[in-house]
A and B are shown apart, each in its own frame.
Chain A
Amino acid sequence: MGLQSQFPGLYAARKTFAGQLLWTVENRDLRLQCPLEIADVTVEGLEFIGRATSQPDKACHFMLRATDTRGNYHLLERIDWRPVHSHDNKGRGPAELRHVIQRTAHAHAFEMNWVKSEDRLLTGGLPLAAPVDIDGLEVVDAFKYAAKRFNIVTGKMTFPPPPWEPDLFNG
């Protein structure tokens, strides 16, 4: 059974964080990467990823990612909070979203990009997305929204906002 056929199960399973939520500085970006557990087992290659740029209070991505034994990874879902880029599904996906330029928060949802009949994700890096109404939330609440979508139980775990001090990038 290939990794892709496991994606629906991995996406739907109740998950918890298997490590600390810590941001690190990586060239131009801030990154948070944390392995995930399902039923008390830290699942090989399954991770929650947060990514922010040097621009405060915008452009934060939350991702659920699976990596196979060859080191190839696939995003299962990506939430773009206050994005600085636009998105267009082009002529694919739900009819009401075709050729609609999405300027605000959107979710590259697993179910939109999953081809059930062929047991695989669409190629091209989750090319379909739908608007989500989270740009009015603070980043901590946007994280909670993403975690809930990914079925990650946060419990008492607190999410540290990205450390958006300019000195981190200019120092």
Chain B
Amino acid sequence: MVELRTHDVSFHLAVERAVAELVRLDQGRDEAVIHLPIWLPSGTGVTVTVRRKGQLVEVSDDGGTYREAEDSMMHKSFARIAPDIVTDLGVTYEVKAFTVRDVALDRIAGAVAAVAEAAKRTFDVTVERVAERRSTEVNDAFYDRLRSLYREAKVERDFVIRGASQHEWKFSNVVSFGERRTIFEAVAPFHISIYSAVTKFQDVRQLDKPPSRYAVVQDKDELTDLIGVLSQVSNVIETRIPDTSLRKLAS
């Protein structure tokens, strides 16, 4: 077996080349584009442009991160969230772009880092919020359906059930026939939403008399292979389930 020597030149060169490849610079006359090793879920890298403005410079992502959000239909949420993210970063968010203006030449690195952080953080928060909002919309719509289908039962929002761990979990929609309960919990096709639901379901299914559990999703396809994680602790139904089928689940 060939061992790497401590001063193996090719190894060190390879790592140096890798580091150089991580950040790329395209220099123009009055502007330079920096490709950063910060990646959005679509695989697109965050790019920041530095522009000369007299004796100072302006640093901006030029709206590139917004466009990625647009391609996943998250741009409206992105635009709402961005102003909150930038406040403590010294970055402005205007016309789709994160920008730092009037930057001295010796502060460019810090401004580039701030713009990149604002862009990435806004994208990540947007993904989470969109997932939460989707779940809320599903829960609202489902509550109305359950109320109309189960007139003889008690249908409650934000119902608290103590799990086997003794922790109290809040469930969005619970149908009760006396002590017999059925949970309908909206789950969005994102890791955070799925893991949150699995944790809650896992804890209550270990009770002596566990409630029936249904994860409600808009489209099972969107869960990808994570449907297997959910189905270990609950049944999974889609929002388009016919009333006749939904009526039988908690009866």
Contacts and interface: CB of A to CB of B under 8 A. Distances in A.
Given A28-B97, A120-B224, A84 B33 contact: yes
Interface residues of B, number: 31
B73 A2 contact: no
Interface in A104-125: 108, 115, 118-120, 122-125
Given A90-B43, A129-B43, 10 more contacts: A53-B63, A84-B33, A85-B44, A86-B47, A88-B45, A90-B39, A120-B221, A126-B42, A127-B41, A127-B42
Contact of B73 (A51, A73, A101, A124): A73
Nearest to A72: B73
Interface in B41-93: 41-47, 49, 62-64, 67-68, 71-73
A5 to B, nearest CB: 8
Interface of B: 21-22, 24, 26, 33, 35, 39, 41-47, 49, 62-64, 67-68, 71-73, 95-97, 189, 219, 221-222, 224
A88 B39 contact: yes
Interface of A: 2, 4, 27-29, 51, 53, 55, 61, 63, 72-73, 75, 78, 84-90, 101, 103, 108, 115, 118-120, 122-129
20 contacts: A28-B62, A29-B67, A53-B62, A53-B63, A63-B71, A72-B73, A73-B73, A84-B26, A84-B64, A85-B47, A86-B24, A86-B45, A88-B39, A119-B221, A120-B222, A123-B224, A124-B43, A127-B41, A128-B43, A129-B43
Contacts of B39: 88, 90
B35 A123 contact: no
Nearest to B62: A53
A116 B41 CA distance: 21
Nearest to A128: B43
Interface of A is mostly: loop
Given A4-B221, A88-B39, A124 B64 contact: no
Nearest to B219: A2
* The 9 A-B residue pairs with the shortest CB-CB distance in the complex, in nearest-first order: A86-B45, A125-B42, A125-B72, A120-B221, A124-B41, A85-B47, A127-B43, A86-B35, A28-B63
Contacts of B97: 28
A4 B35 CA distance: 33
A126 B21 CA distance: 24
A34 to B, nearest CB: 17
B150 to A, nearest CB: 26
A56 to B, nearest CB: 12
Given A28-B62, A84-B33, A123 B189 contact: yes
B41 A27 contact: no
B95 A27 contact: yes
B189 A125 contact: no
Contacts of A78: 71
A85 to B, nearest CB: 5
B71 A75 contact: yes
Contacts of B62: 28, 53, 55, 84
